[in-house]
Structure 1
Amino acid sequence: MSTTIAQVSPGTAGFDHARVPLVVQGVALDVATIHRTGPLSPVVFLHGFGSTKEDYADIVRHAEFSGRAFLAWDAPGCGETHCGDLGRVSIPFLVDTARALLAHFGVTEFHLVGHSMGGLTALLLAHAMPERVLSFVDIEGNVAPEDCFLSRQIIDYPADDPQHFFDEFILRTHGSPAYASALYAASLRHKVRTGAVAGIFRSMVELSDHGDLMDKFLSLPMPRMFMHGEQNATLSYLPRLREARVRVEEVPSCGHFPMYSNPLHMWSAIAKHVAS
Protein backbone atom coordinates (compact mmCIF):
# COMPACT_ATOMS: atom_id res chain seq x y z
CA MET A 1 0.00 0.00 0.00
CA SER A 2 1.23 3.48 -0.79
CA THR A 3 1.05 6.73 1.11
CA THR A 4 -0.58 9.74 -0.51
CA ILE A 5 1.35 12.88 0.41
CA ALA A 6 0.03 16.36 -0.22
CA GLN A 7 2.96 18.74 -0.20
CA VAL A 8 2.41 22.12 1.43
CA SER A 9 4.15 25.11 -0.10
CA PRO A 10 7.02 26.51 1.99
CA GLY A 11 5.95 29.56 3.96
CA THR A 12 2.33 28.44 4.31
CA ALA A 13 1.43 25.67 6.77
CA GLY A 14 5.01 24.59 7.43
CA PHE A 15 4.21 20.89 7.49
CA ASP A 16 3.07 18.13 5.15
CA HIS A 17 -0.15 16.13 5.05
CA ALA A 18 -0.23 12.41 4.30
CA ARG A 19 -2.93 9.77 4.25
CA VAL A 20 -1.58 6.38 5.33
CA PRO A 21 -3.50 3.17 4.56
CA LEU A 22 -3.01 0.57 7.29
CA VAL A 23 -4.54 -2.66 8.54
CA VAL A 24 -4.58 -2.85 12.35
CA GLN A 25 -6.00 -5.90 14.13
CA GLY A 26 -7.62 -6.85 10.83
CA VAL A 27 -9.36 -3.46 10.47
CA ALA A 28 -8.71 -1.27 7.43
CA LEU A 29 -7.66 2.28 8.25
CA ASP A 30 -6.89 5.38 6.21
CA VAL A 31 -5.04 7.56 8.69
CA ALA A 32 -4.80 11.32 8.25
CA THR A 33 -1.43 12.65 9.40
CA ILE A 34 0.58 15.85 9.53
CA HIS A 35 4.35 15.82 9.82
CA ARG A 36 7.60 17.51 8.99
CA THR A 37 11.16 16.32 8.75
CA GLY A 38 14.15 17.92 10.44
CA PRO A 39 17.62 17.24 11.84
CA LEU A 40 16.43 16.97 15.45
CA SER A 41 14.74 13.88 16.91
CA PRO A 42 11.01 13.95 16.22
CA VAL A 43 8.19 14.67 18.62
CA VAL A 44 5.27 12.26 18.26
CA PHE A 45 1.93 13.71 19.38
CA LEU A 46 -1.22 11.78 20.39
CA HIS A 47 -4.37 13.85 20.78
CA GLY A 48 -7.17 13.38 23.28
CA PHE A 49 -10.77 12.25 22.87
CA GLY A 50 -12.70 14.83 20.91
CA SER A 51 -9.59 16.47 19.53
CA THR A 52 -7.51 16.05 16.37
CA LYS A 53 -3.95 16.23 15.09
CA GLU A 54 -4.38 19.99 14.61
CA ASP A 55 -4.05 20.44 18.38
CA TYR A 56 -0.32 20.21 17.71
CA ALA A 57 0.07 21.88 14.33
CA ASP A 58 1.32 25.08 15.94
CA ILE A 59 4.62 23.42 16.80
CA VAL A 60 5.84 24.98 13.55
CA ARG A 61 4.99 28.47 14.89
CA HIS A 62 7.32 28.27 17.87
CA ALA A 63 11.01 29.03 17.40
CA GLU A 64 11.99 26.70 20.26
CA PHE A 65 11.17 23.78 17.94
CA SER A 66 13.17 25.00 14.97
CA GLY A 67 14.67 22.00 13.19
CA ARG A 68 12.55 19.58 15.19
CA ALA A 69 10.74 16.88 13.21
CA PHE A 70 7.24 15.92 14.32
CA LEU A 71 4.41 13.52 13.58
CA ALA A 72 0.73 13.71 14.56
CA TRP A 73 -2.38 11.94 13.32
CA ASP A 74 -6.12 11.64 13.81
CA ALA A 75 -6.84 8.57 15.91
CA PRO A 76 -9.25 6.01 14.40
CA GLY A 77 -12.77 7.23 15.06
CA CYS A 78 -11.62 10.85 15.12
CA GLY A 79 -11.00 13.70 12.72
CA GLU A 80 -10.26 12.85 9.09
CA THR A 81 -9.12 9.27 9.68
CA HIS A 82 -11.36 6.56 8.18
CA CYS A 83 -11.88 3.34 10.13
CA GLY A 84 -13.45 0.22 8.65
CA ASP A 85 -14.96 -0.95 11.95
CA LEU A 86 -15.58 1.72 14.59
CA GLY A 87 -16.72 -0.87 17.09
CA ARG A 88 -13.16 -2.21 17.30
CA VAL A 89 -11.65 1.07 18.46
CA SER A 90 -10.21 0.96 21.98
CA ILE A 91 -7.07 2.14 23.74
CA PRO A 92 -5.14 -1.06 22.85
CA PHE A 93 -6.27 -0.58 19.24
CA LEU A 94 -4.91 2.98 19.32
CA VAL A 95 -1.59 1.71 20.70
CA ASP A 96 -1.30 -0.75 17.82
CA THR A 97 -2.17 2.05 15.38
CA ALA A 98 0.64 4.15 16.83
CA ARG A 99 3.09 1.26 16.45
CA ALA A 100 2.09 0.83 12.81
CA LEU A 101 2.52 4.53 12.05
CA LEU A 102 5.93 4.68 13.70
CA ALA A 103 6.99 1.75 11.54
CA HIS A 104 5.53 3.32 8.40
CA PHE A 105 7.39 6.61 8.89
CA GLY A 106 10.59 4.89 10.03
CA VAL A 107 10.55 6.60 13.42
CA THR A 108 12.93 4.80 15.78
CA GLU A 109 13.72 7.16 18.68
CA PHE A 110 11.33 9.97 19.52
CA HIS A 111 9.98 12.36 22.13
CA LEU A 112 6.40 11.52 23.08
CA VAL A 113 3.54 13.88 23.98
CA GLY A 114 0.00 12.73 24.71
CA HIS A 115 -3.11 14.44 26.05
CA SER A 116 -5.92 12.71 27.96
CA MET A 117 -6.90 9.66 25.84
CA GLY A 118 -3.68 10.24 23.92
CA GLY A 119 -1.75 10.42 27.17
CA LEU A 120 -3.05 7.01 28.20
CA THR A 121 -2.25 5.62 24.75
CA ALA A 122 1.22 7.17 24.95
CA LEU A 123 1.82 5.69 28.41
CA LEU A 124 1.12 2.18 27.16
CA LEU A 125 3.24 2.81 24.07
CA ALA A 126 6.16 4.07 26.17
CA HIS A 127 5.80 1.12 28.53
CA ALA A 128 5.99 -1.26 25.57
CA MET A 129 9.06 0.36 23.99
CA PRO A 130 10.88 2.39 26.68
CA GLU A 131 14.22 2.16 24.91
CA ARG A 132 12.85 4.17 21.97
CA VAL A 133 11.22 7.04 23.88
CA LEU A 134 13.62 9.91 24.60
CA SER A 135 11.20 11.85 26.81
CA PHE A 136 7.51 11.75 27.69
CA VAL A 137 5.07 14.61 28.33
CA ASP A 138 1.77 13.35 29.74
CA ILE A 139 -0.89 16.08 29.59
CA GLU A 140 -3.54 14.88 32.03
CA GLY A 141 -3.43 11.38 30.62
CA ASN A 142 -5.09 8.70 32.73
CA VAL A 143 -2.89 7.26 35.46
CA ALA A 144 -5.54 6.61 38.14
CA PRO A 145 -9.29 5.90 38.44
CA GLU A 146 -10.03 9.52 39.33
CA ASP A 147 -8.95 10.57 35.82
CA CYS A 148 -12.11 9.09 34.25
CA PHE A 149 -14.24 12.19 34.78
CA LEU A 150 -15.21 12.12 31.09
CA SER A 151 -14.93 8.45 30.14
CA ARG A 152 -16.73 7.06 33.21
CA GLN A 153 -19.89 8.74 32.02
CA ILE A 154 -20.39 5.69 29.76
CA ILE A 155 -21.14 3.82 33.02
CA ASP A 156 -22.69 6.61 35.10
CA TYR A 157 -25.13 7.67 32.37
CA PRO A 158 -26.03 4.42 30.54
CA ALA A 159 -28.06 4.66 27.35
CA ASP A 160 -29.25 2.03 24.88
CA ASP A 161 -28.84 4.43 21.96
CA PRO A 162 -25.18 5.43 21.33
CA GLN A 163 -26.27 8.67 19.67
CA HIS A 164 -28.44 9.61 22.65
CA PHE A 165 -25.53 9.00 25.02
CA PHE A 166 -23.20 11.13 22.91
CA ASP A 167 -25.75 13.96 22.60
CA GLU A 168 -26.23 14.04 26.37
CA PHE A 169 -22.47 13.81 26.96
CA ILE A 170 -21.97 16.86 24.77
CA LEU A 171 -24.63 18.80 26.69
CA ARG A 172 -23.08 17.92 30.05
CA THR A 173 -19.62 18.85 28.83
CA HIS A 174 -20.82 22.12 27.34
CA GLY A 175 -22.22 23.16 30.72
CA SER A 176 -19.13 22.28 32.72
CA PRO A 177 -17.57 25.17 34.70
CA ALA A 178 -14.06 24.15 33.60
CA TYR A 179 -11.98 26.28 31.24
CA ALA A 180 -12.59 25.66 27.51
CA SER A 181 -15.36 23.08 28.11
CA ALA A 182 -17.91 24.85 25.92
CA LEU A 183 -15.33 25.39 23.17
CA TYR A 184 -14.37 21.71 23.33
CA ALA A 185 -17.96 20.48 23.36
CA ALA A 186 -18.99 22.61 20.40
CA SER A 187 -16.90 20.58 17.95
CA LEU A 188 -17.32 17.07 19.37
CA ARG A 189 -19.93 16.01 16.78
CA HIS A 190 -17.55 17.03 14.00
CA LYS A 191 -14.44 15.41 15.44
CA VAL A 192 -15.66 12.06 16.82
CA ARG A 193 -17.62 9.24 15.18
CA THR A 194 -20.41 8.12 17.51
CA GLY A 195 -19.67 4.44 16.87
CA ALA A 196 -16.21 4.76 18.44
CA VAL A 197 -17.24 6.44 21.70
CA ALA A 198 -18.29 3.43 23.79
CA GLY A 199 -15.24 1.32 22.97
CA ILE A 200 -12.86 4.15 23.75
CA PHE A 201 -14.56 5.11 27.01
CA ARG A 202 -15.00 1.57 28.32
CA SER A 203 -11.37 0.68 27.67
CA MET A 204 -10.21 3.90 29.35
CA VAL A 205 -12.21 3.06 32.46
CA GLU A 206 -11.03 -0.56 32.50
CA LEU A 207 -7.39 0.43 32.18
CA SER A 208 -7.66 3.25 34.71
CA ASP A 209 -9.28 0.96 37.28
CA HIS A 210 -7.28 -2.23 36.68
CA GLY A 211 -4.29 -1.46 34.43
CA ASP A 212 -1.67 -0.52 37.07
CA LEU A 213 -1.15 2.72 35.18
CA MET A 214 0.61 4.61 37.96
CA ASP A 215 3.13 1.81 38.41
CA LYS A 216 3.71 1.76 34.65
CA PHE A 217 4.23 5.52 34.58
CA LEU A 218 6.61 5.61 37.52
CA SER A 219 8.65 2.72 36.13
CA LEU A 220 9.43 4.49 32.85
CA PRO A 221 13.16 5.25 32.52
CA MET A 222 12.99 8.35 30.32
CA PRO A 223 12.55 11.94 31.59
CA ARG A 224 8.85 12.43 32.33
CA MET A 225 6.64 15.45 32.79
CA PHE A 226 3.03 15.40 33.94
CA MET A 227 1.20 18.54 32.88
CA HIS A 228 -2.12 19.56 34.46
CA GLY A 229 -4.38 22.56 34.48
CA GLU A 230 -4.64 24.86 37.48
CA GLN A 231 -8.25 23.72 38.02
CA ASN A 232 -7.02 20.15 38.50
CA ALA A 233 -4.35 20.92 41.09
CA THR A 234 -6.27 18.77 43.59
CA LEU A 235 -5.47 15.50 41.79
CA SER A 236 -4.60 13.18 44.67
CA TYR A 237 -1.52 11.64 43.08
CA LEU A 238 0.44 14.81 42.28
CA PRO A 239 2.55 14.58 45.48
CA ARG A 240 3.44 10.99 44.61
CA LEU A 241 4.62 12.07 41.17
CA ARG A 242 6.81 14.78 42.67
CA GLU A 243 8.26 12.34 45.19
CA ALA A 244 9.17 10.06 42.27
CA ARG A 245 11.02 12.95 40.57
CA VAL A 246 8.49 13.36 37.82
CA ARG A 247 8.40 16.97 36.69
CA VAL A 248 4.91 18.28 37.48
CA GLU A 249 3.90 21.31 35.41
CA GLU A 250 0.82 23.31 36.40
CA VAL A 251 -0.71 25.42 33.65
CA PRO A 252 -2.31 28.66 34.91
CA SER A 253 -5.84 29.69 33.87
CA CYS A 254 -6.49 26.19 32.56
CA GLY A 255 -8.58 23.08 33.11
CA HIS A 256 -8.15 19.87 31.12
CA PHE A 257 -7.24 21.54 27.82
CA PRO A 258 -4.01 23.59 27.87
CA MET A 259 -3.87 23.63 24.07
CA TYR A 260 -7.08 25.69 24.10
CA SER A 261 -6.81 27.66 27.37
CA ASN A 262 -3.10 28.46 27.65
CA PRO A 263 -1.21 27.19 24.59
CA LEU A 264 1.80 29.48 25.06
CA HIS A 265 2.52 28.00 28.47
CA MET A 266 1.98 24.48 27.14
CA TRP A 267 4.37 24.91 24.21
CA SER A 268 7.04 26.57 26.36
CA ALA A 269 6.93 23.75 28.93
CA ILE A 270 7.08 21.06 26.23
CA ALA A 271 10.01 22.80 24.52
CA LYS A 272 12.00 23.00 27.75
CA HIS A 273 11.33 19.36 28.57
CA VAL A 274 12.30 18.12 25.12
CA ALA A 275 15.43 20.28 25.03
CA SER A 276 16.58 19.06 28.43
Structure 2
Amino acid sequence: MTITTTLTRHRIPLTIDGTEVRLSCISREGSGLPIVFLHGFGSTKEDYADVALHPAFAGRPIFAYDAPGCGESECSDLEKISIPFLVKTALAALAQRGIERFDLVGHSMGGLTSLMLAHQHPAMVASFTDIEGNVAPEDCFLSRQIFLHPDEDPDQFLEDFISRNWSAPFYSSPLYATSVRYKVRARAVRGIFESMVDLSDNADLMGKFLALPLPRMFMYGEQNKSLSYLAHLASHGVVLAEIPHSGHFPMYSNAPEMWRRIAAFQAGAQEPSPATETARA
Protein backbone atom coordinates (compact mmCIF):
# COMPACT_ATOMS: atom_id res chain seq x y z
CA MET A 1 0.00 0.00 0.00
CA THR A 2 1.34 3.43 -0.93
CA ILE A 3 1.99 5.68 2.05
CA THR A 4 1.29 9.39 1.53
CA THR A 5 1.28 12.50 3.68
CA THR A 6 -1.43 14.27 1.68
CA LEU A 7 -5.05 14.10 2.78
CA THR A 8 -7.67 13.37 0.15
CA ARG A 9 -11.04 15.17 0.16
CA HIS A 10 -14.05 13.11 -0.85
CA ARG A 11 -17.78 12.55 -0.27
CA ILE A 12 -19.72 9.60 1.15
CA PRO A 13 -23.46 9.33 0.45
CA LEU A 14 -25.43 7.53 3.17
CA THR A 15 -29.00 6.92 4.25
CA ILE A 16 -29.47 7.11 8.03
CA ASP A 17 -32.92 6.28 9.41
CA GLY A 18 -34.45 7.17 6.05
CA THR A 19 -32.59 10.50 5.92
CA GLU A 20 -30.21 11.26 3.06
CA VAL A 21 -26.76 12.33 4.21
CA ARG A 22 -23.71 13.29 2.15
CA LEU A 23 -20.57 13.44 4.26
CA SER A 24 -17.61 15.64 3.41
CA CYS A 25 -14.52 13.66 4.38
CA ILE A 26 -10.76 13.76 4.55
CA SER A 27 -8.69 10.61 4.59
CA ARG A 28 -5.28 9.16 3.98
CA GLU A 29 -4.26 5.64 3.04
CA GLY A 30 -1.44 4.05 4.94
CA SER A 31 -0.34 1.10 7.03
CA GLY A 32 -1.11 0.20 10.61
CA LEU A 33 -4.12 1.03 12.73
CA PRO A 34 -6.31 3.82 11.32
CA ILE A 35 -7.04 6.93 13.39
CA VAL A 36 -10.66 8.12 13.28
CA PHE A 37 -11.52 11.68 14.37
CA LEU A 38 -14.96 13.05 15.32
CA HIS A 39 -15.17 16.83 15.71
CA GLY A 40 -17.11 18.90 18.24
CA PHE A 41 -20.15 21.12 17.91
CA GLY A 42 -19.43 24.19 15.81
CA SER A 43 -16.22 22.66 14.49
CA THR A 44 -15.26 20.64 11.42
CA LYS A 45 -12.99 17.84 10.23
CA GLU A 46 -10.29 20.43 9.57
CA ASP A 47 -9.67 20.62 13.33
CA TYR A 48 -7.65 17.45 12.77
CA ALA A 49 -6.13 17.98 9.32
CA ASP A 50 -2.68 18.77 10.76
CA VAL A 51 -2.34 15.13 11.83
CA ALA A 52 -1.03 14.47 8.32
CA LEU A 53 1.97 16.74 8.99
CA HIS A 54 3.09 15.29 12.32
CA PRO A 55 5.98 12.78 12.12
CA ALA A 56 4.56 10.79 15.05
CA PHE A 57 1.62 9.74 12.86
CA ALA A 58 3.61 9.19 9.65
CA GLY A 59 2.12 6.49 7.46
CA ARG A 60 -0.97 5.94 9.60
CA PRO A 61 -4.33 5.76 7.83
CA ILE A 62 -6.51 8.79 8.70
CA PHE A 63 -10.26 9.33 8.48
CA ALA A 64 -12.35 12.34 9.54
CA TYR A 65 -15.56 13.92 8.28
CA ASP A 66 -17.97 16.77 8.91
CA ALA A 67 -20.94 15.55 10.93
CA PRO A 68 -24.36 15.90 9.24
CA GLY A 69 -25.51 19.51 9.48
CA CYS A 70 -21.94 20.69 10.00
CA GLY A 71 -19.17 21.97 7.77
CA GLU A 72 -19.51 20.84 4.17
CA SER A 73 -21.68 17.80 4.91
CA GLU A 74 -25.31 17.71 3.83
CA CYS A 75 -28.43 16.31 5.52
CA SER A 76 -31.91 16.22 4.01
CA ASP A 77 -33.67 16.61 7.39
CA LEU A 78 -31.69 18.70 9.89
CA GLU A 79 -34.25 18.14 12.67
CA LYS A 80 -33.39 14.42 12.67
CA ILE A 81 -29.84 15.03 13.85
CA SER A 82 -29.04 13.93 17.41
CA ILE A 83 -26.25 12.03 19.15
CA PRO A 84 -27.84 8.63 18.37
CA PHE A 85 -28.16 9.76 14.73
CA LEU A 86 -24.48 10.75 14.73
CA VAL A 87 -23.47 7.37 16.15
CA LYS A 88 -25.36 5.60 13.35
CA THR A 89 -23.69 7.96 10.86
CA ALA A 90 -20.23 7.10 12.21
CA LEU A 91 -20.89 3.36 12.02
CA ALA A 92 -22.21 3.64 8.46
CA ALA A 93 -19.24 5.75 7.35
CA LEU A 94 -16.76 3.32 8.92
CA ALA A 95 -18.47 0.40 7.22
CA GLN A 96 -18.37 2.20 3.89
CA ARG A 97 -14.63 2.80 4.32
CA GLY A 98 -13.99 -0.78 5.44
CA ILE A 99 -12.56 0.39 8.79
CA GLU A 100 -13.13 -2.37 11.35
CA ARG A 101 -10.74 -1.43 14.18
CA PHE A 102 -9.15 1.94 14.91
CA ASP A 103 -7.81 4.46 17.40
CA LEU A 104 -10.64 6.89 18.14
CA VAL A 105 -10.32 10.61 18.94
CA GLY A 106 -13.40 12.70 19.69
CA HIS A 107 -13.85 16.26 20.92
CA SER A 108 -16.90 17.58 22.84
CA MET A 109 -19.96 16.52 20.79
CA GLY A 110 -17.64 14.16 18.91
CA GLY A 111 -16.34 12.85 22.23
CA LEU A 112 -19.87 11.96 23.34
CA THR A 113 -20.59 10.37 19.95
CA SER A 114 -17.34 8.43 20.29
CA LEU A 115 -18.24 7.27 23.79
CA MET A 116 -21.62 5.92 22.67
CA LEU A 117 -19.99 4.22 19.67
CA ALA A 118 -17.30 2.62 21.85
CA HIS A 119 -19.91 1.56 24.42
CA GLN A 120 -21.98 -0.17 21.72
CA HIS A 121 -19.03 -1.67 19.80
CA PRO A 122 -15.98 -1.84 22.11
CA ALA A 123 -14.20 -4.42 19.97
CA MET A 124 -13.90 -1.88 17.17
CA VAL A 125 -11.98 0.66 19.27
CA ALA A 126 -8.31 0.05 20.05
CA SER A 127 -7.98 3.23 22.13
CA PHE A 128 -10.13 6.26 22.88
CA THR A 129 -8.90 9.82 23.33
CA ASP A 130 -11.80 11.83 24.76
CA ILE A 131 -11.15 15.57 24.43
CA GLU A 132 -13.63 17.08 26.90
CA GLY A 133 -16.45 14.89 25.65
CA ASN A 134 -19.48 14.68 27.93
CA VAL A 135 -19.21 12.18 30.78
CA ALA A 136 -21.27 14.04 33.42
CA PRO A 137 -24.08 16.63 33.66
CA GLU A 138 -21.59 19.41 34.43
CA ASP A 139 -20.17 19.04 30.90
CA CYS A 140 -23.26 20.59 29.30
CA PHE A 141 -22.02 24.19 29.58
CA LEU A 142 -22.58 24.67 25.83
CA SER A 143 -25.46 22.31 25.09
CA ARG A 144 -27.58 23.21 28.14
CA GLN A 145 -27.92 26.71 26.74
CA ILE A 146 -30.77 25.34 24.60
CA PHE A 147 -32.77 25.21 27.87
CA LEU A 148 -31.17 28.09 29.78
CA HIS A 149 -31.56 30.58 26.90
CA PRO A 150 -34.45 29.19 24.82
CA ASP A 151 -35.59 30.77 21.58
CA GLU A 152 -38.10 29.31 19.15
CA ASP A 153 -36.23 30.90 16.26
CA PRO A 154 -33.21 28.62 15.55
CA ASP A 155 -31.32 31.39 13.77
CA GLN A 156 -31.76 33.79 16.68
CA PHE A 157 -30.72 31.14 19.20
CA LEU A 158 -27.53 30.51 17.24
CA GLU A 159 -26.74 34.23 17.00
CA ASP A 160 -27.23 34.65 20.76
CA PHE A 161 -25.15 31.52 21.40
CA ILE A 162 -22.35 33.02 19.32
CA SER A 163 -22.53 36.30 21.23
CA ARG A 164 -22.39 34.61 24.64
CA ASN A 165 -19.44 32.44 23.69
CA TRP A 166 -17.53 35.21 21.95
CA SER A 167 -17.31 37.10 25.24
CA ALA A 168 -16.56 34.06 27.43
CA PRO A 169 -13.26 34.41 29.35
CA PHE A 170 -11.68 31.23 28.01
CA TYR A 171 -8.86 30.49 25.59
CA SER A 172 -10.01 30.49 21.94
CA SER A 173 -13.65 31.30 22.74
CA PRO A 174 -13.79 34.31 20.36
CA LEU A 175 -12.03 32.31 17.63
CA TYR A 176 -14.50 29.46 18.07
CA ALA A 177 -17.60 31.63 18.37
CA THR A 178 -16.98 33.79 15.31
CA SER A 179 -16.85 30.76 13.01
CA VAL A 180 -19.81 28.80 14.42
CA ARG A 181 -22.38 30.35 12.05
CA TYR A 182 -20.32 29.09 9.10
CA LYS A 183 -19.83 25.58 10.49
CA VAL A 184 -23.26 24.44 11.70
CA ARG A 185 -26.78 24.82 10.34
CA ALA A 186 -29.09 26.55 12.82
CA ARG A 187 -31.88 23.99 12.44
CA ALA A 188 -29.50 21.19 13.47
CA VAL A 189 -28.69 22.72 16.84
CA ARG A 190 -31.77 21.84 18.92
CA GLY A 191 -31.68 18.10 18.27
CA ILE A 192 -27.97 17.92 18.94
CA PHE A 193 -28.07 19.95 22.14
CA GLU A 194 -31.21 18.35 23.59
CA SER A 195 -29.82 14.85 23.04
CA MET A 196 -26.47 15.83 24.57
CA VAL A 197 -28.19 17.11 27.70
CA ASP A 198 -30.50 14.09 27.92
CA LEU A 199 -27.63 11.63 27.65
CA SER A 200 -25.45 13.57 30.10
CA ASP A 201 -28.23 13.76 32.69
CA ASN A 202 -29.77 10.32 32.30
CA ALA A 203 -27.53 7.79 30.52
CA ASP A 204 -24.78 7.14 33.13
CA LEU A 205 -22.06 8.29 30.77
CA MET A 206 -19.44 8.04 33.50
CA GLY A 207 -20.30 4.39 34.06
CA LYS A 208 -20.11 3.72 30.34
CA PHE A 209 -16.75 5.47 30.01
CA LEU A 210 -15.17 3.67 32.95
CA ALA A 211 -16.49 0.30 31.81
CA LEU A 212 -14.85 0.49 28.39
CA PRO A 213 -12.42 -2.46 28.10
CA LEU A 214 -9.77 -0.46 26.26
CA PRO A 215 -7.14 2.24 26.91
CA ARG A 216 -8.77 5.64 27.54
CA MET A 217 -7.35 9.13 27.83
CA PHE A 218 -9.38 12.13 28.95
CA MET A 219 -7.92 15.39 27.66
CA TYR A 220 -8.94 18.77 29.09
CA GLY A 221 -7.75 22.34 29.03
CA GLU A 222 -5.91 23.89 31.95
CA GLN A 223 -8.84 26.25 32.49
CA ASN A 224 -11.08 23.25 33.13
CA LYS A 225 -8.92 21.47 35.69
CA SER A 226 -11.65 22.11 38.28
CA LEU A 227 -13.89 19.45 36.68
CA SER A 228 -15.17 17.49 39.66
CA TYR A 229 -14.58 14.01 38.28
CA LEU A 230 -10.94 14.12 37.17
CA ALA A 231 -9.59 12.29 40.24
CA HIS A 232 -12.34 9.69 39.84
CA LEU A 233 -11.27 9.06 36.26
CA ALA A 234 -7.63 8.69 37.26
CA SER A 235 -8.51 6.27 40.06
CA HIS A 236 -10.16 4.02 37.49
CA GLY A 237 -7.18 3.85 35.16
CA VAL A 238 -8.03 6.67 32.77
CA VAL A 239 -4.97 8.61 31.58
CA LEU A 240 -5.42 12.35 32.19
CA ALA A 241 -3.93 14.88 29.79
CA GLU A 242 -4.09 18.49 30.97
CA ILE A 243 -3.24 20.88 28.14
CA PRO A 244 -1.61 24.15 29.32
CA HIS A 245 -2.80 27.53 28.03
CA SER A 246 -6.07 25.99 26.86
CA GLY A 247 -9.77 25.79 27.66
CA HIS A 248 -12.30 23.63 25.81
CA PHE A 249 -10.47 23.89 22.48
CA PRO A 250 -6.88 22.58 22.74
CA MET A 251 -6.74 22.19 18.95
CA TYR A 252 -6.96 25.98 18.70
CA SER A 253 -5.09 27.07 21.84
CA ASN A 254 -2.24 24.59 22.15
CA ALA A 255 -2.28 22.18 19.23
CA PRO A 256 1.38 21.07 19.54
CA GLU A 257 0.81 19.77 23.07
CA MET A 258 -2.49 18.19 22.09
CA TRP A 259 -0.84 16.23 19.28
CA ARG A 260 2.11 15.27 21.49
CA ARG A 261 -0.17 13.79 24.11
CA ILE A 262 -2.33 11.95 21.59
CA ALA A 263 0.74 10.43 19.93
CA ALA A 264 2.25 9.34 23.25
CA PHE A 265 -1.02 7.84 24.43
CA GLN A 266 -1.67 5.90 21.23
CA ALA A 267 1.90 4.59 21.22
CA GLY A 268 1.51 3.48 24.84
CA ALA A 269 -1.87 1.90 24.14
CA GLN A 270 -0.18 -0.52 21.73
CA GLU A 271 2.29 -1.65 24.41
CA PRO A 272 1.58 -4.55 26.80
CA SER A 273 1.09 -2.35 29.89
CA PRO A 274 -1.28 0.66 29.87
CA ALA A 275 0.71 2.06 32.82
CA THR A 276 3.57 2.90 30.44
CA GLU A 277 1.74 5.91 29.01
CA THR A 278 0.99 7.26 32.48
CA ALA A 279 4.68 7.20 33.30
CA ARG A 280 5.67 8.87 30.04
CA ALA A 281 3.10 11.65 29.95
Q: TM-score interval w.r.t. the shorter chain? A: over 0.9
Q: What are the superposed Cα offsets for residues 179-217 of structure 1, whole Å, 9 maximum, x if unpaired?
A: 000000010110000010000000000000001100000
Whether 1:81 and 2:73 are equivalent positions in the alignment is: yes
TM, length-normalised to structure 2: 0.93
Equivalences for 1:221-260 in 2 at 5 Å? 221-260=213-252
Query: Partner amino acid for 1:16?
Result: T
2-structure distance, mates of 1:258, 1:240: 22
Corresponding residue of 1:21: 13
Aligned to 1:120: 112
The aligned counterpart of 1:30 is: 22
Picking from 219, 223, 233, the partner of 2:211 is 219
Instruction: Give 2:127's match in structure 1, choosing from 124, 135, 140.
Output: 135
Question: Does the 8 A contact of 2:5 with 2:28 survive in 1?
Answer: no
Report deviation, 1:158.
1.0
Deviations 1:91-142 (A, max 9, x none): 0000000000000000011000000000000000001110111000000000
Q: CA deviation at 1:82?
A: 0.5
Displacement of 1:13 after TM fit?
7.3
Residue identity in the other structure for 1:163: D
Alignment of 1:45-194 (within 5 A): 45-194=37-186
Runs of 4+ in 1 over 2 A off after TM superposition: none
Secondary structure at 1:30 match in 2: strand
Percent of matched pairs sharing the same residue? 58
Partner Cα separation in structure 1 for residue 139 and residue 110 of structure 2: 13
- Rounded to whole Å, the distance in 2 between the matches of 1:238 and 1:33 is 33
- Unaligned 5+ residue runs, structure 2? 269-281
Secondary structure at the residue paired with 2:152? Answer: coil
CA deviation profile, 1:6-58 (whole Å, cap 9, x unmatched): xxxx9x97111110110001100110000001111100000000000000000
Distance 1:190 1:166 in 2: 11
3-state DSSP of counterpart to 1:40:
coil
Instruction: Give the secondary structure class of the aligned counterpart of 2:34.
Output: strand
**Which string of whole-angstrom CA distances, capped at 9 and with x for unpartnered residues, describes residues 122-166 of structure 1?**
000001110111000000000000000000000001112111111
Q: TM-score, normalised by structure 1?
A: 0.95
**C-alpha distance in 2 between matches for 1:238 and 1:129:** 25
Distance 1:170 1:230 in 2: 23
Instruction: State the alpha-carbon separation in 2 of the partners of residues 65 and 82 from structure 1.
Output: 30
1:205 aligns with 2:197: yes
Distance 1:17 1:169 in 2: 30
3-state SS of the aligned residue for 1:176? coil
The 2-side partners of 1:42 and 1:218 are apart by 23
Q: Deviations over 1:203-234 (max 9, x none)?
A: 00000000110000000011000000000000
- Rounded Cα–Cα distance in structure 1 between residues aligned with 2:219 and 2:39: 14
- Alpha-carbon distance in 2 for matches of 1:138, 1:266: 12
Which residue of the partner structure matches residue 3 of structure 1? none
CA–CA distance in structure 2, aligned partners of residues 143 and 225 of structure 1: 13
Which amino acid in 2 is paired with 1:192? V
Shift of residue 274, structure 1, vs aligned partner: 1.1
CA distance in 1, matches of 2:102, 2:127: 8
Take 1:160 and 1:82, find their aligned partners in 2: how far apart are those partners?
23
